[in-house]
A = this chain, B = another copy of it.
Amino acid sequence: VTVTVDLVVFTIRAGGLHVLLVRRGQQPYLDELALPGGFLEPDQDDDLDATAARELAEETGLHASALHLEQLGAYSAADRDPRGRVVTIAFVGLVPQLPEPAAGGDANGALWTPIDPAAPGAGLPGSLAFDHDQILADGLARVQQQLEHTALAPAFCPPEFSLSELRQVYETVWGVPLDIANFRRKALGVDGFLLDTGRTRTDVGRPAKLYRRGPATQLHPPMPRPPVPHHHITDGEER
């Protein structure tokens, strides 16, 4: 049995949620879009997490420190890979900024692709190789849920960030607007979530205080996630 690792790596660029995709450089699914990934090498001491971190570094140039990587699950349908029995362990990664991905490995290049948090798959230029559409959807759901319960949001931000930036993370990943005042109180009220650096930053308007991520990992009680507003059916994309 062959074991691979696939990565669902999200970032926020230009106010929108993006996933890292590669265009496949070999069969099967040559030239189609897929999630970045690689093989678990049995002869090395890398476990799955190390393999995922290595792959991510290769694709994005980012080193494993200071970025979040977590296991999503195993995908094992017998016919998911035409080459034979391949089980893949999917990971979800979160990247703070907007570094251009580095091409390399068996991929012709990696690219940040915008996706709609309400409907992953919409906005994509077709479907992905293997069962990667499913993995992407599961990964998005995981991140959305983790934002509610864990102190994960700063992973999308630079080391120091304003409350607006943090709020935009939630709004972007969830696809809903939040109340500024209530978000502030909630975020600052959770013990150990945010640390006040003395600093402030001015872009436009009143200067904003800057925060660093605190030691807390869980959010008690959770960050409330508003019910998705009922879109009118804009076009297609229903189920």
Contacts and interface: CB of A to CB of B under 8 A. Distances in A.
A2 B85 CA distance: 12
B40 A87 contact: yes
Looking at chain A's contact residues, is the secondary structure mostly helix, strand, loop, or mixed? Answer: loop
A76 interface: yes
B76 A48 contact: yes
B40 A1 contact: yes
A129 interface: no
Report the contact-size class of chain A (Cβ under 8 Å from the partner). 20 to 34
A74 B76 contact: no
A85 to B, nearest CB: 4
Nearest to A45: B78
A73 B76 contact: no
A1 B41 CA distance: 8
Given A49-B76, A87-B89, 9 more contacts: A1-B1, A1-B2, A3-B3, A3-B87, A46-B78, A47-B76, A47-B77, A47-B78, A73-B74
24 contacts: A1-B1, A1-B2, A1-B3, A1-B40, A1-B42, A3-B3, A3-B87, A40-B76, A40-B87, A42-B84, A42-B85, A44-B78, A45-B78, A46-B78, A47-B77, A48-B74, A48-B76, A48-B87, A49-B76, A71-B73, A73-B73, A73-B74, A74-B74, A87-B89
